[in-house]
Amino acid sequence: VTRLPEQPAERIDRNKLIRFTFDGKSVQAYEGDTIGSALYAAGQRTFSRSFKYHRRRGLMCCAGQCPNCIVAVDGAPGARACTEQVRDGMKVEHVNAWPSLEHDVMSATDAAGGTFTPPGFYYKTFIRPRRLWPVYEKVLRHAAGLGKLRHNQPEREWKTEYRRRHADVLVVGGGAAGLSAARAAAQRGADVVLVDEGPEPGGRLLAEGQQARVDQLLSEARDAGVEIIARGSALGFFDGLVPVWQGDTLHQLRARRHVIATGTIEQPLVFAGNDLPGVMLSDGARRLAALYAVKPGTRAVVATTSDRGLEAAIALHEAGVQVAAVADLRSTPGAPATTLTRLGIEVLPAYTVVQARGKKQVSEAVLVPVQSSGAGARTFVCDLVVVSGGAIPASSLLLQAGATTRYDETHGHFAITETPEHVVGAGEVVGHEQLDVAIHSGELAGLEAAHALGLGDSQSTAAADELRRQLELAADHRAPVAVPPAAIGAEHGKCFACLCEDVTSKDIGISIDEGYDSIELAKRYTTVTMGPCQGRMCQLPAVRVMAQQTGQSLADVGTTTARPPWVSVPMGILGGPTYEPAKRSSIHGRHRELGGNVKWAGDWRRAYDYGDPEGEALSVNRAAGLIDVSTLGKLLVQGPDAGEFLDLLYPNRFSNLAPGRIRYGVISSDAGRIVDDGTICRLDDESFYVTTTSSGAGAVEEWFSWWLADWGMRVALTDVTQGLSAVNLAGPRARQIMAKVTDLDCSNEAFKYLDGKHALIAGVPCLLLRIGFVGEVGYEIHFSAAFGEHVWDALLDAGAEFGIRPFGLEPQRILRLQKLHILVGQDTDSESTPFGAAMPWIVKLDKEQDFIGKWALEHYEQEPPATSLVGFTMTDGYVPTEGAVVTDGAGTPAGQVTSSRYSPVLDRVIGMAWVPAALAKDGAQITISDEGRTTQGFVQTKPFYDPDGEVLRS
């Protein structure tokens, strides 16, 4: 019914019909329609219900700025009907109304709830009795909101694609200025990206029907190599990084120069009933008619503060809308008023709209002269009230980039004054309004960006000078704008300053009365500017209301801080792809095939067990076991000063270690605290092979590198952690298994405990370390990661006849606990010293060299620690939680359990704990308080299994 004849700039294809549903009802549209234009054409006037009062809301801006048309599309809330294009079969639903959009129960709050719902009501009411708060919260959350997310999202449905793009120049805004800037910079050789929110660049030119101009600019920009990202919203400015949301892609744009040509945002007027369906911004009404050939109303009243509204009135008249009257706030209306008068349209100077009346939509508008106290009011029957309260620069990105503003009295808004070096504004956002002026402004910005990058020539420099001259001239010819009253007509009804959050001018007054008398405080208290429009439609009205009610000037009130995101964006877009970096050993696939229970261990995926941790541990003690220890940190330290380097890093000595021998080492911090441990094998006179804990590998490598750089020693440090696989073959039958896979003499005489040797295992060159973390005869075998599965398979095959089993991290923890071998980070913390951890023997204070932490360790040697790390056994079979508290006789916490397990080979519960030093003696009884249970344990200072290390050395 409301479709117009073909419009010159229309974006719809009348030959292609599309059907979609709105709240279950079928709606017909043309390809190119937005949901909003199609529904409006079908007669729909109410698009949503407001946030708090559940008032009817209809199309207003038709540009994705305001919150009035937010709907859910195919179950996803947050879509703006006015910009979301229709697709065949799409399912559109209203949000925030129950049981239906037409009959919303919660709309009672509009009539009766005002008294109970002042700003900040949730701080004042619904707070007692406190136990009912969860109920209140549920009710309030149900009553307000912008739609509901589905509880379950199909996997990767919201997958975002990140795309990083570097550019010389990024232009944000594809209107006349933006296109001109992009074209100018690209024609001088710059790599330019242009981002525009619309389905196609053109900005206001499109709505004004200047398609040919757009086509020309676009064509020239493309020919110059500009990459155009349409339907892309620049979300913010983060130190030069501009994230741009485009569909399911988040572009991360980094440019050397930025041109912000985001234009202006038309502002509403604050009057009674200014949110009724049928109250529409002038640009919105024009866009609806020009782009989608939808007649916004049959009889309109226009209220404006500038020529923008007057031009809209002419355009609407040409589109067939009867314009009943035009209220121009200025006492001398602009030039277009002459045209209106000629068309027979009444223009009322110094008038504004005071009230829009109607139940479901506008049916009348009341215009009043601004200087009178009600006299001269005129009432017009109409179904459309077109308002234009001036325009504010869309300056958020500029402000986020560091630009400054000041209040511009002439134009009634905050204008950009300065921008940072790498950022420049162009076009309307910096006050260059008229089309030709905006184009010049863009061209100049593009040229300046190119020149700053070292591009361009004398000709372009001269062109830039000429453009500057023309812009200076144009500055004197800006059309006058009247500043509208902060709010008018409050005695007739609610005057909304903020449509998103249902904040009225009265609400802001209340917040001021309650002491929230700065704009930043009022923002937080009333939530004005915090809704989906992010202040686009409400910041200036709120500032005006605050200025009016506090008696301050607008400049003194100032603005709220511009913060990203500039447009509302799904969290999933920010979340990005679900990349989860995981390190896997080269034997990982085998662990999976063997039924390994794989879990995270630091940044590695590791087999915790193969289904039977205790059985696996027992197998190591009774036969043989094989564990993948490829995650250990591995460093090659080479050079003439390698031994001295390690002597400086460790509290014990390594320069006197014989080639082919291994020594345990603990790395301490400057403060003498344990930070890591591992073994060091001297490979030859100048080469040491250092292992670290799995989780400490990166930190130790950094620690070594840092000191190496500082000391400048003749040492080459190479991190081979990921380059080598490592497995530990351990158990009473380990030697027999080794005999099957290597020619090396593995007898105890030839290959002693703490020897390191080279050998071929199943044909693969390996470094064999005879060490025993798990307490049995053991061979830690290190070899190129390219042979991980080969060596693993060979050892398991060879060990099959001896009952070998693979074992995981959990049985390893049982086994090492039996030997009281510490796990750094598990049994130690940032306060633990080697003395407290019962390892005084590792600190060689008599060493000739200084070493890291020596001063502190000398101190600790003189003052024994208050607590000591000991082993303990439980008498009642209870396995205390790791972290359980060890208490003293008075029940005061005096230590904690660090490790505890049931040992299958010992058939008892064992553990390690920090206890008061006085209790660090064999047989001492300790009390453990664990989750309300108090139990007893007995201290043991020597290993539970093979206390004298005879097995290890056998």
Partner 1 sequence: VSLEFLSPESGAADAVARTPMERQARASGALFEVRDGWNLAVSYGSSDDEANACRQTAGWVDVSHLRKLELQGTGVSQHAGLELATATRRDDAWWCPMTPDRALVIGGQPAAVREHAPEGTSVVDVSTAFAAMTLVGPQSREVFARFCAADLRPKVTPVAGLQPVSIARQPGLIVREAEDRYLFLFGWAVGQYMWTAVQDAATHLGGRPAGLDALHPLEEPLEEMSSRA
Should residue 599 be labelled a site residue for partner 1 when binding is judged by CB under 8 A?
no
Should residue 164 be labelled a site residue for partner 1 when binding is judged by CB under 8 A?
yes
Kindly state the greatest CA–CA separation across the chain.
Answer: 115
Should residue 604 be labelled a site residue for partner 1 when binding is judged by CB under 8 A?
yes
Number of residues that bind partner 1 (CB under 8 A): 61
SS (H, E, C) 396-462: HHHHHCCCEEEEECCCCEEEEEECCCCEEECHHHHCCCCHHHHHHHHHHHHHHHHHHCCCCCHHHHH
Give dist(CA 754, CA 660) in Å, integer: 9
Name the residue among 317, 362, 356 with its Cα closest to residue 337: 317
Binding mask 257-296 vs partner 1 (x if CB under 8 A, - otherwise)?
----------------------------------------
* Residue in 254, 524, 740, 847 binding partner 1, rule: CB under 8 A: 254
355 CB burial (10 A radius; 0-12, 13-18, 19+): buried
E strand or H helix that includes residue 228? strand 227-229
CA distances from 316 to 22, 56, 298, 324, 669 (A): 28, 24, 10, 11, 77
> What does the buried/exposed string (b/e) look like for 360-389 if buried means 16 or more CB atoms within 10 Å of the residue's CB?
ebbebbbbbbbeeeeeeebebebbbbbbbb
Closest distance of CB 457 from partner 1, Å: 19
- The interface with partner 1 within residues 179-208 (CB under 8 A) comprises 191
* Residue in 315, 354, 546, 764 binding partner 1, rule: CB under 8 A: 764
Residue number with CB closer to partner 1 (492 or 584) = 584
Three-state DSSP class for 626? strand
Closest distance of CB 169 from partner 1, Å: 13
SS (H, E, C) 61-88: CCCCCCCCCEEEECCEEEEECCCCECCC
Q: Parallel, antiparallel, or unpaired for β 756-761 and 764-769? A: antiparallel
Report the length, in residues, of the chain.
954
Residue number with CB closer to partner 1 (644 or 719) = 719
Residue number with CB closer to partner 1 (612 or 755) = 755
Should residue 591 be labelled a site residue for partner 1 when binding is judged by CB under 8 A?
no
Residue number with CB closer to partner 1 (89 or 454) = 454
Dihedral sign from CA coordinates of 507, 513, 516, 517? positive
Closest distance of CB 740 from partner 1, Å: 14
Should residue 750 be labelled a site residue for partner 1 when binding is judged by CB under 8 A?
no
- The interface with partner 1 within residues 431-450 (CB under 8 A) comprises none
Using the contact rule CB under 8 A, the part of the chain among 13-21, 517-525, 765-773, 898-906 near partner 1 is 765-773
Should residue 140 be labelled a site residue for partner 1 when binding is judged by CB under 8 A?
no
Should residue 758 be labelled a site residue for partner 1 when binding is judged by CB under 8 A?
yes
Should residue 252 be labelled a site residue for partner 1 when binding is judged by CB under 8 A?
yes
Using the contact rule CB under 8 A, the part of the chain among 230-238, 395-403, 504-512, 758-766 near partner 1 is 758-766
Give dist(CA 183, CA 190) in Å, integer: 10
Closest distance of CB 693 from partner 1, Å: 16
Closest distance of CB 719 from partner 1, Å: 7
> What does the buried/exposed string (b/e) look like for 275-290 if buried means 16 or more CB atoms within 10 Å of the residue's CB?
bbbbbbbbbbbbbbbb
> What does the buried/exposed string (b/e) look like for 435-466 if buried means 16 or more CB atoms within 10 Å of the residue's CB?
bebbbbbbbbbbbbbbbbbebbeeebeebbee
Closest distance of CB 365 from partner 1, Å: 52
Is-contact 240 422, C-beta < 8 A? yes
Closest distance of CB 190 from partner 1, Å: 10
Closest distance of CB 165 from partner 1, Å: 6
* Residue in 305, 586, 832, 940 binding partner 1, rule: CB under 8 A: 586
Give dist(CA 317, CA 320) in Å, integer: 5
Helical residues (DSSP H) of 227-342, grouped into ranges: 282-292, 307-318, 336-342
* Residue in 299, 584, 599, 740 binding partner 1, rule: CB under 8 A: 584
Residue number with CB closer to partner 1 (566 or 604) = 604
Should residue 696 be labelled a site residue for partner 1 when binding is judged by CB under 8 A?
no
- The interface with partner 1 within residues 787-846 (CB under 8 A) comprises 787-790
Closest distance of CB 900 from partner 1, Å: 31
Tokens 């915090």: give the residue. 530
CA distances from 900 to 373, 380, 874, 884 (A): 84, 84, 10, 10
Should residue 687 be labelled a site residue for partner 1 when binding is judged by CB under 8 A?
yes
Binding mask 631-670 vs partner 1 (x if CB under 8 A, - otherwise)?
-----x-xx-------------------xx----------
Using the contact rule CB under 8 A, the part of the chain among 84-92, 212-220, 541-549, 721-729 near partner 1 is 721-729
Should residue 335 be labelled a site residue for partner 1 when binding is judged by CB under 8 A?
no
Closest distance of CB 589 from partner 1, Å: 5
Upper half-sphere CA count for residue 758 (Cβ side, 13 Å) = 7
Should residue 165 be labelled a site residue for partner 1 when binding is judged by CB under 8 A?
yes
Binding stretches for partner 1 (CB under 8 A): 161-166, 191, 252, 254, 577, 579-586, 588-589, 604, 630, 636, 638-639, 659-660, 681-684, 687, 689, 716-724, 756-758, 760, 762-767, 782-790
